[in-house]
Chain A
Amino acid sequence: MSRRNEIIARIQTVPSIPTVIAKIEQMLNNPDVSFKALSDLIKYEPGLTANILKIANSAYFGFKQKISSVQQAIVRLGTERVHELAIASSLAPIAHSSVKGYDLPAGELWKHSILIALGGEQIAKMKGIKPPDSVFTTGLLLDIGKIVLGTFVEIDVNPIMDLAFKKKIPFDVAERRVLGIDHTEVGAILLKNWNLPEEIVNTVRWHHQPSRAKQNSLLLDLVHSANIFAMISGIGTGSDGLNYRPDKEVMKRMNFTTEKKELVISMMMTGLNDVQDLLSLGLPDKSKK
């Protein structure tokens, strides 16, 4: 079996996200579903409910009055946001682990992912555009492929590093040359298995090479940019460092001035600071003991 096929086989062994997420996903695609049906679905999942309330009450959303029920959270935050928080909640335990191969200590990938999720939204707001609905979720999922691919990167770390850092080839391209696949494709296959919308799958697939996507999309532009800012911040950058290429077409469309670039980074860091509850999601809950 080729290395590529071996890796693809490994993706199939990754446990799926909980079925309740898939159910929420289906529900949101049906315009006739009521708020109540969605809150009923969530409220029978105590862990999920607790997490949603915890994040809904974090400083990032800035509600003065405490949100105390799922239904209230849906009314105040909207169905889409609650859906995102549900995904975040089920993703956290997976994304919180340390990542081999990329040398990421536990929690770093999760922090990086949240930073991209926030960054995507903040860039849109800064440009006066309404952020696409799935930008937060896509940001969280962008580098999920690293979790699976890391084990294989670790085995072939030397040839990948040589290509990347001596020959100055983007890290994802080096992965593909050595392993036959890169972390963007691994992520896309995984998310397809999880039945996530095609738009998210495609965005994850092309987040390092947006010009190769079938069509331009605001979503892709936003997460590509947010990922660059996250790398510049250094948060969650491991052995791959900053060894990726910004896409010049995307940058032309985004048209950031020097000042705007620096302001976005500053805003992203503030946002990250305000979502500490989101950051601690993957950690064991000490209050239960």
Chain B
Amino acid sequence: MVITVNISDLGTSNSNEDKIITYSLGSCVGVSLYDPVAEVGSLIHCMLPLSKVDRAKSKIKPYMFVDTGLQAQLKIMYDNGATKKNIVAKVAGGSKLLDKKSLFRIGERNYTVVRKILWKNNILIENEDVGGTKSRTMYLVMETGKTYLKIRGEEIEL
């Protein structure tokens, strides 16, 4: 089954027949987590770095923000038997405009918060494709635990 993750949402699976996919990551970040032992995987698509900008919103939509979203994603992983030691984390997105003056740093800030939270959880990012001005599609194939990116029609493994 294909599980589509909308913006500000999470998809999770423990079936090796599933593929979890999210489209059009602009400055948003996608984080895929996979535990090969527990055979559980998940993908989030977060738009903004910190929930403090709109607390009420973060209550209804925790996955809109990296801080609340990634923590909730990790909890779901742990609840499903995943361990810090086994989780494979991959990150994509965080694009920016052609913006020499750095007027908009939302993508960069999103990525920084991802790193911070994973670091606190003792999880290293295995691979990442962040920054630039591209829009990315990201998906996790549960059968292999591999994460792929699709950028302008081209597919690459992350």
- Interface, chain A (partner B; CB < 8 A): 103, 108, 161, 164-165, 168, 170, 228, 231-239, 241-246, 248, 251, 258-259, 261-263, 265-266, 269-270
Contacts and interface: CB of A to CB of B under 8 A. Distances in A.
Interface size class of B (residues with CB under 8 A): 20 to 34
B5 interface: no
Contacts of B98: 168, 170, 242-245
B97 A261 contact: no
B152 interface: yes
Contacts of B27: 232-234, 242
B153 A103 contact: yes
Contacts of A262: 48-50, 53-54, 106
A234 B99 contact: no
B7 interface: yes
Contacts of A237: 24, 26, 135
B25 A234 contact: yes
A264 B104 CA distance: 13
Interface in B18-63: 24-28, 47-50, 53-54, 57
B153 to A, nearest CB: 7
Given A241-B134, A266-B48, A266-B57, A234 B28 contact: yes
B69 interface: no
A103 B152 contact: yes
B120 interface: no
Contacts of A231: 26, 97
A232 B107 contact: yes
Given A234-B24, A234-B27, A242 B97 contact: yes
B107 A251 contact: no
B97 A266 contact: no
Nearest to B60: A270
22 contacts: A165-B133, A232-B27, A233-B7, A233-B27, A234-B7, A234-B26, A236-B24, A237-B26, A239-B152, A241-B26, A242-B95, A242-B98, A245-B99, A251-B103, A262-B53, A263-B54, A265-B47, A266-B47, A266-B53, A266-B57, A269-B64, A270-B57
B46 to A, nearest CB: 11
A256 to B, nearest CB: 9
Given A165-B133, A241-B26, A246-B99, A235 B54 contact: no
A266 B103 CA distance: 18
B97 A245 contact: yes
B12 interface: no
Nearest to B101: A248
Contacts of A161: 152
9 shortest A-B CB distances, which residue pairs? A234-B26, A243-B133, A234-B24, A237-B135, A232-B27, A241-B135, A262-B53, A241-B134, A245-B98
B152 A246 contact: no
A259 B134 contact: no
B90 interface: no
A242 B47 contact: no
Nearest to A232: B27
A130 to B, nearest CB: 24
Contacts of A258: 105
Contacts of A265: 47-48, 106
B57 A228 contact: no
A232 B24 CA distance: 10
B135 A242 contact: yes
Contacts of B28: 233-234
Given A161-B152, A241-B26, A265-B47, A228 B104 contact: yes
A263 B53 contact: yes
Contacts of B24: 108, 234-237
A254 B24 CA distance: 27
A248 B152 contact: no
A231 B26 CA distance: 7
B8 interface: yes
A259 B104 CA distance: 11
B56 to A, nearest CB: 10
Given A168-B133, A248-B101, A263-B54, 4 more contacts: A161-B152, A232-B97, A234-B27, A269-B47
Contacts of B25: 234
